[in-house]
Amino acid sequence: MPHMVSSLDHPNPFILALIGLAAGVLSGLFGVGGGIIMVPAMVMLAGMAQGRASATSLASIVPIAAVGAFVFGRSDSVDLPAAAVLMVGSLIGVQVGAWLMPRIGDDRLRIGFAIFMIGIAVTMLIS
């Protein structure tokens, strides 16, 4: 049986561009975008599976982060030693997360992601 191409295989480029625009603005404002904006938007608005949305977000965040770091670096707002330490930890952590993701499954991943975001929101409101 041939593979049927669905809208889930090829999300609407206009919707993806709007998601990217929102993520870029919020990245510049709050330092967020990939996980907090792009992933839920790609799942809810573009119909992507949770795991695919997470992986796609990671692929798109590299140039976003580079441009943001450059723009903020021009005004001496980047703590380069702190960024280097964060990078080392993140490069290790992302491998663990990428290994775990396909073993968890989309439903549990989506629930875990929602709980994580609620936890962050509550922590920020309390602190």
C-alpha to C-alpha distance for 16 and 13, rounded to whole angstroms: 5
Domain residues of the chain, as ranges?
13-126
Q: What are all long-range contacts of 2-9, with beta carbons under 8 Å and residues at least 24 apart? A: 7/47, 8/47, 8/48, 8/49
pLDDT of residue 89: 92
pLDDT of residue 47: 93
C-alpha to C-alpha distance for 72 and 29, rounded to whole angstroms: 11
Token look-up 């280097």 returns 84
pLDDT of residue 29: 80
pLDDT of residue 8: 57
Write the single-letter amino acid at 78.
V
pLDDT of residue 1: 44
Span 9-66, pLDDT tens digits: 688 999 999 988 888 888 878 777 778 889 999 999 999 998 999 999 999 988 988 9
Span 69-120, pLDDT tens digits: 999 999 999 999 999 999 999 999 999 999 999 999 889 988 998 998 899 8
Contact 109, 100 (CB under 8 A): no
Q: Which residues contact 124 (CB under 8 A, 6 or more apart)?
A: none
Alpha helices in the chain (DSSP H): 13-30, 39-44, 50-74, 80-104, 106-126
- pLDDT at residue 4 tops 90: no
